[in-house]
Amino acid sequence: MKEVYTIEDLASRDILDAGCEKPARLAVIGWPIAHSASPQMHQAALDAYGIDCRYIRVEVPVGRVAEAFARMRALDFIGSNVTVPHKFDAMAACDGIDPLAASLGAVNTVCFDASGLTGYNTDGPGFVAAVEHDFSVRLADLKVLIVGAGGGAGQAIATQCVLSGVRQVVLVNRSVDKILALQSKLQAINGNVNIEIAGLDDPRLVELSHQCELIVNTSAVGLNPADPCVLPASCLMKHHLVYDTIYKPAVTPLTALANSIGCRTSNGFSMLLRQGVLSFQHWFPGTEPLLMMEEALSRQS
């Protein structure tokens, strides 16, 4: 079994399944994709439930998502997960969109059946479940600051916060122009929510941070251990809950600083796990794969 397959490997079963006992019928697509931990957790659940298929990584170039899905359907795939940068193209390629995915504006889980492709988003609910499990609080009871709100993950999490009943959301982005439309979209969803926006150089950033209980990093700053902290130290106080959606490395500059101040912290490992569970349940309703997925991910961490 290859660590990473290409779109060309989806040409036939003879190519895709060469040397393997089980057929590949689930996948995660991205560009690049070698880093994805999804196969470990999904394969563990498939094996535990005795489901005769493999879950693979497929590297799909930008602009070829619809083609990749068409090839998968021709090979009788059950479905696919989708990671960056394909979540918007995946949504466009689907025949039907779940209402939550439509609200969040992106698709990360696709189900294939006789009627076509149906797109779902498990990132938003996975984030809610992760925060509530890791910090033992209701997300709806928190005021939330989101760093990197201009990106796809930030927009989805901000929208999920509003849908979940959060009453104050602070959107922070390097470029404020990128979050003006998001502010309008969120206020259209619920006009009672207080939506503040700020750039990273905004003098109000420290005050806005101190007003919030949960700080979430959805930017890529921190993927490299040499990166600076995404927020200045003056923004963090001991009362903060700090969630970094990055899970490799397990400790980022943001969570390292937050730990030193005495904040409670967590990372994207728990969101990865819980969105994966929800994806699996879309493909196999009635299953409960959480424990087996968690064990598989823990072995890899």
Query: Of 2, 87, 143, 238, which residue is the catalytic one?
Result: 87
Half-sphere exposure of 208 (CA within 13 A, CB side): 24
Give the Cα separation of 179 and 188 in Å (integer).
Answer: 14
The pairing of beta strand 264-267 with beta strand 144-147: unpaired
What is the sign of the dihedral through the CA atoms of 66, 126, 143 and 191? positive
Other beta carbons within 10 angstroms of residue 94's beta carbon come to 19
Q: At what angle do helices 269-283 and 38-48 cross, to 10 degrees?
A: 40
DSSP classification of residue 215: E
Q: At what angle do helices 290-300 and 269-283 cross, to 10 degrees?
A: 140
**CA angle (235, 238, 240) in 5-degree steps:** 65
Known catalytic residue: 2?
no
User: Cβ distance 193 to 166 under 8 Å?
Assistant: yes
DSSP 98-116: -HHHHHHT---EEEEETTE
Catalytic residue positions, numbered: 87
